[in-house]
Structures are given as C-alpha cells and as structure tokens.
Structure 1
Amino acid sequence: MTNRYEFMKPYKFANGLKLQNKIVMAPVTLQSSFFDGAVSDDEVKFYRMRSGVGMIIVEVANINEAGKGFEGELSVADDRFIPGLGKIANAIHSKGSKAVLQIFDAGRKTSRKILRGVQPRSASAVAPHRDLKNVPRELTDTEIEQVIADFGAATLRAIRAGFDGVEIHGANTYLIQQFFSPHSNHRRDRWGGNVYQRMNFAKAVIAEVRRVANENAPSSFLVGYRFSPEELSKPGITIADTLKLVDVLSDEPIDYLHSSMGNRKRTSLVDKSNLETLNSRILKTINNRKPLIEVGNILSPQDADEALHEGASLVAMGRELIREPNWIAKVKTHDEKSIRYTLSPVDMDLLGLPGGLQQELRTGFLNAMNFTDQETSDFLDKFGQMEGFGG
C-alpha cells in the first residue's frame, strides 16, 4: 500500500487548501518562454506531464519589464499574459496538482543586454561579485513603492489565470534578497539599516500580495515565501540573519516558507564549526508556526520520508522530477524499481523537456543531472541537437 510512505498522505494548509500528497515540484527554470515572456506550448506540455504531485511551483515570472533576469523567462507583468498562464495552471490541475506561480523581480541579477540597454536597479548602487562592471542604480522611494504594487498586480493576474497561490521569491540573490543583504543594501532610509530594517521591503511585498489575495481570491489561496539561508559575499547574509528573518516571517500573513538549498542536509558554508543542518536550525526557529518546504537532493521515496520525519511539512523535488515525470505515479502503482535516477541525453524530448531547459542541463547543470552517458552528453553539448536527439 502506498500509504506506507508518509509523503503519500494528503496535506492540508491552515487556510484549508488540501494537497493530494506531500510532494512538491520545486520551481525549475525552463528558459523556454517567448521573447516577450509569453507562455510556450513546450512549457504547458512540461507541466502537464508532471501533474500528480501535491503541488507544482512554476518558475520565476517577472512582475515588470525591468525585473527580467534572463532570456526565455516567464512574465506576469501584463494582463495579456493571463491566457497563457492559465494554460499552465490548467495543465498542472489535470491530475489533481495545485498550481503556484513564483513571482519575482531580478533586481541587479540581470544585465543591460537582457534589459535591452537599460541599467539594472537594486536596493543600492553596488555591483554583484560575479559581475563587478555591472553596477546597478539605486531605486528611488517612489520606484520601490511601484515595485511593491507590481507584486500585487502580478498576484491578481495569477488569481485570474487560475493559480491556487503565489510564491514570493525572496531567495537566490534576486531583488527581495538584495534588500535584505548587507552587501547590496546600504540604504539609510526606511528600506535599509539594521537586519530588521532590511526586512521592511519583504514585509511590504507580503502585505500587498496578501491584500490583493484577500480581496480577490478564495481564502484557500496560498501566499508562500522562498528564502536562501546564506550568502558567501562579505558582508553577506549569515544564518544568524536568516534565523531572525524566519522568526519574523513566521508571524507574517503567509502560508508557508520554502528554504532554497541544493542539499537539504547542508550545514553552514560560512561557519564551519557548526555541524547542525541549516534546516534543523530553521525548523527550531519556526517552532511549528508555519509549514516548511525542504528541497535539495531529495531523490527517492526514502529521502522524501526522511525529510518529513525530520520536521519538514512538505518535500520539494526539482532535478528528480525533470528526470522522472512519473515519479509519483510509479510510487502509487508500486513500480518504484523503474524510477529514473539518471538522465539519458537521448530521452530529453521523450521527457518533455523544452529546448531552453535542455541547453541549460547540458551546460550549467551537466554534473548535477546524473547523465547516463557523459560522452553522449559532451557530444550533444559540442554539436547541438541532431535528428533523433531532439529539435
């Protein structure tokens, strides 16, 4: 019986939204939208093939043109995108999954090339370490208020497109994290200062998103928040800072927290002397006030149950659900031996992987995807797609 696994049991949020199981698909950057951010058929197919998990979080959708972070990125910056986003929501719902749209502004984590000559902007005029020549301009107070309003407008579009919730992206060094980080936020107005004052932007975004949801969506509409526990920048966000943030967020009007990590068992990258996992420290701080979604190197049914038994409310998979869209169905039908834990380069079309994602997997994530044949993968990377390998 599949209920031998804890993750196969339903989950109910405090607001009443019920998931058919405790597996979440983590946001996967498909890089396959049209040039203007409109939804492509490849994206719709990708999500339809993975419906069946409890909830799918759709990857970053920019809330305004200046917040675009990369080519092929989804947009929720205009009403004209609602029909296409609705197709994604419907595809996710096809086998009972709940659909959540991740909304964000890239801030300085973009370039003039991406923004067609426009200078990126951020909390302060501080360049990221990865690109010291890419100095952003500091947002004015009026512009900050507009960005907050844009998060609200994006939430309304997600509601109209049929999503069951939105996830505010406060992680991965995007704009909200830039306001929280002492590296990128040197402001001395109401949007900067000490660790608590640097939370003001995130709190204002949450308040606006919640206001829009309360006025326009059912009470079961989710508002989640994703965060990154640490930065390697000096100065940068420390786990001590994040525990203060998590403590504050646990009393904010959100429905869940989502820690962004490549390995859920990771300890501090900055304080090597502390061997307690970051998620364990985060869970202690939350103290059952909010559900926590854990992500990072969760592959097998045993991995998922272990995370739940250690305190996570829900477990998220990204890379594993790229490799195995039928993961939950195979567990349900007692066919676990056939679950893919490796990815053959020649199967990428079969698995419904859009072209933009395929390119990213062959380059930036080459070593993380467990490709079955490194020589074949290197061949594809060098010569591109050929007949029989995709198009």
Structure 2
Amino acid sequence: MKEKFKPLFEPFQFRNGIDVKNRIVMGPTTNFSSHLDGTVTDEEVNYYTRRAHGVGMLITACAYVTPNGKGFHGEFGADTDGVLPSLSRLAKAIKDQGAKAILQIFHGGRSCPPELLPNEDLVSASAVAEERDGAPVPRALEEEEVEEIIHAFGEATRRAIEAGFDGIEIHGANGYLIQQFFSPHSNRRTDRWGGNIENRMAFPLAIVDIVKDTVAKYITQPFLIGYRFSPEEPETPGITMTDTLQLVDALANKDLDYLHVSLMEFWSLARRGTDDTRSRIELIVEKVDKRVPIIGVGSIKTPDDAVKAIEAGVEFIALAREIIIEPDWVQKTLEGNEAEINTVLLRSDQEKLAIPIPLWQAIMNTPGWFPVAE
C-alpha cells in the first residue's frame, strides 16, 4: 500500500469499545431484490457477502419498520418478529467477512409507492404531496399513530439486536418520513410535532431516544447507533443549511455513535441558509466539533478522492456505487493495485459482480445513476 493511503486503513475505536478495522464503509443502496414477504433472498446475501470482505463497516439497504413504511419494491423488512431468521442470516453473512454489520431502518412516509400499500394509507407528517407530477397526497398521521411509529423504530432496533447486527442506522435522510417531519415543506402541523424548528425536530429526536432506550434495555454487548441526514431540500419552504446545523447540533448532543451525511457530491456547497463559502461537509464538521464521528459520502471513486475527503475532518468515508462497481476496492488499494480499480460498469459484469438481477435492471434502465459502458 502506498504511504499516502494509510489514513484510510487506520483502525478506529468507538466510545463504546467497538473496534473497526479501517475507515471505509459500504454505504446503503436499495437493491430491489427481497422476497415479497420482506425476507432477504439468496441473491442479496451473495451481493453483501461479495462486498463485506474489505470494508470496516457495511450499512445495509433500508428496512421498513411498519407495513405502511415500505418504500421500495423488493425491500426487506424489520417490522415483525417473523423476519428475525432473515435478518439473522444477513447479519451473519456480513460479519463472517470481517465487517461490522449495520442495519438501516426507516419509514418511507409519503414517498412510498401506493401499490405497495394495498391495505394501508399513504401517510406523512401532513397532507402535502411531493413536488413531482402525479404525486399522491398523503394522509396526515394522527398523534397516536406518530407514537406508534416511534415505538416501531424501537421494536426494529430490538430485532436488529436479536438478529446479531453490530448496530443500526436511523434513516433520517433522502426525503423519507423522518425528514418529512423535520421539513417545513412536508410538515405543516400545529401540534407538538410541527411548527417551529424545535417542534419539527421532536419526531427525529424521539426516535433517537427510543432507539437508545431499546439498546440500553436489550444489548449484552456494545451496539452502534448512527443517524443519516440530508443537509438541504430544493423545495421552498424546505430544509436549509441553517436548519440542518441546528439539527446536527442537537444530534451531536445525543451521544450517538456516528452521523452519516447523505450527499451526492462530497464537496458540494450550500444552496441557502448560510453566507459561508465552504462546503456543506466542512460546515457540518465544524458544528459537530468532534463530539461524534462523521461518515462522509458523495462521488468518491478513487483512493485519492477518499484521502482528500478524510482530510476534511470526517472519520469515515462511505462508498456506495463504487463498492457495487468494484467490490475489491479495499483489497486493491491495500495491495498497491489501486490503478486496477474499476469505476465503470460493463454490461457483461452482472454475474461476475454478484449484483442481484432486479438491481442490475434498475441500473441499466436508469441513465446517469451509474457509469455504464459497453
């Protein structure tokens, strides 16, 4: 390995004593490949096994915590005890390769495809549709239902513990239900869950609290709790950088194990809410001020990209599309063969890379999502 890449391979110990072998994380990416009953398929297990052997941590695709929170076709669940064998199988497959296994849990809210909810209402913080053509109007959750969903996040955490995962990641990013409560676009409530920013933070922070309480109640060994967030929204009104820095400050005071920033481009600049010309990640690093480790992500392809990102002050780098394209990214870097790292998918690569067919079809049919060549 070249000397300049050593920062990527320094071990890290979390405050609770969990050791991670390096600073590279496989980021969560939906794969559309689970059974209809919410259990994992052989294809998914093979896909994760192929990618878990080098990274320090692997964060799974999101698992829904209630039936009306299923956000994708072919998504696996964490909503009932019946899926425990499925979750256990997935956790073991990841951990057997030497990576820490992190289960991402979420509720899709108004972003759920209605056809996946035949016996459930499409719900959100308020009856406000997404800003896209044909988007359905969700039903605003009753206060009792809000409490039930918070409880469901706790139960999903319990299942992650019982299944043998090393941690969970609360998915508060990418426009899903947790973000819908934080956003002034999707949250027009006038009760304790909406209005000013403190009230709009109440739902995300209540989920953090119940997850922490669940972990304290059920763990027999250290367990990681992370939170993923998106810094801004394009809508008006919408989440601004000022809003996010206030949320980040509150989260950093919650004694979480890490924060995970959801970005398409690591070095992207804020759209609004600040006159600071530094990148979003630099503003977040400054606000956190080492209170909690940060995972950065966004169009990082090469080891040189990753080292530059680490130097911005984050503790970990997540690779999502790049680990799908190049499962041996870590090994090739360690062995000094970084020039052999593939950054483009070939149309003949599906079987070689153990990419599930539904994910492969989605990649091939979504121009611009992945770089693809003949």
TM-score by length of 2: 0.96
Cα displacement string for residues 24-61 of structure 1 (whole angstroms, at most 9, x for unaligned residues): 00001111001121110000001101112000000110
Give the 3-state SS of the residue equivalent to 1:77 in structure 2. Answer: coil
Give the 3-state SS of the residue equivalent to 1:108 in structure 2. Answer: helix
Matches within 5 A, 1:320-331: 320-331=322-333
Q: State whether structure 2 residue 15 is matched by structure 1 residue 19.
A: no
CA contact (8 A) 1:232 1:270 kept: no
Which AA in structure 1 matches 2:310?
Answer: L
Q: State whether structure 2 residue 295 is matched by structure 1 residue 293.
A: yes
Query: What is the Cα deviation at residue 133 of structure 1?
Result: 4.6
Partner of residue 90 from structure 1, selected from 89, 92, 107: 92
Distance 2:133 2:112 in 1: 10
Counterpart in 2 of 1:229?
Answer: 231
Partner of residue 213 from structure 1, selected from 198, 210, 215: 215
Counterpart in 1 of 2:240?
Answer: 238
Counterpart in 2 of 1:7?
Answer: 8
CA contact (8 A) 2:34 2:74 kept: yes
Query: What is the Cα deviation at residue 368 of structure 1?
Result: 3.6
Distance 1:140 1:271 in 2: 31
Counterpart in 2 of 1:53?
Answer: 55
Distance 2:180 2:135 in 1: 17
CA contact (8 A) 1:105 1:176 kept: yes
CA contact (8 A) 1:60 1:103 kept: yes
Distance 1:8 1:62 in 2: 32
Counterpart in 2 of 1:257?
Answer: 259
Moved more, 88-97 or 23-32: 88-97
Counterpart in 2 of 1:110?
Answer: 112
Moved more, 269-278 or 291-300: 269-278
Matches within 5 A, 1:1-391: 1=1, 4=4, 5-51=6-52, 52-116=54-118, 118-131=120-133, 133-218=135-220, 220-270=222-272, 274-364=276-366, 366-373=367-374
CA contact (8 A) 2:242 2:273 kept: no
Distance 2:211 2:10 in 1: 30
CA contact (8 A) 1:293 1:316 kept: yes
Cα displacement string for residues 281-331 of structure 1 (whole angstroms, at most 9, x for unaligned residues): 111111111111000011111111111111011000001000011111112
CA contact (8 A) 1:206 1:253 kept: no
Aligned in 2, Cα 1:55/1:2: closer, same or farther, shift over 3 Å? Answer: farther
Distance 2:2 2:221 in 1: 31
Give the 3-state SS of the residue equivalent to 2:195 in structure 1. Answer: coil
Distance 2:308 2:334 in 1: 18
Give the 3-state SS of the residue equivalent to 1:283 in structure 2. Answer: helix
Distance 1:215 1:74 in 2: 25
Give the 3-state SS of the residue equivalent to 1:74 in structure 2. Answer: coil
Query: What is the Cα deviation at residue 138 of structure 1?
Result: 0.8
Could you list the runs of 5+ residues in structure 2 that have no partner in the other structure?
A: none
Aligned in 2, Cα 1:220/1:316: closer, same or farther, shift over 3 Å? Answer: same
Identity of aligned residues (%): 43
CA contact (8 A) 1:207 1:253 kept: no
Which AA in structure 2 matches 1:217?
Answer: I
Which AA in structure 1 matches 2:162?
Answer: R
Aligned residues: 372
Distance 1:332 1:363 in 2: 34
CA contact (8 A) 2:109 2:177 kept: yes
- Pairwise CA RMSD of aligned residues? 1.5
CA contact (8 A) 1:111 1:119 kept: no
Distance 2:202 2:2 in 1: 44
Which AA in structure 1 matches 2:141?
Answer: L
Which AA in structure 1 matches 2:363?
Answer: L
CA contact (8 A) 1:21 1:53 kept: yes
Give the 3-state SS of the residue equivalent to 2:60 in structure 1. Answer: strand
CA contact (8 A) 2:56 2:98 kept: yes
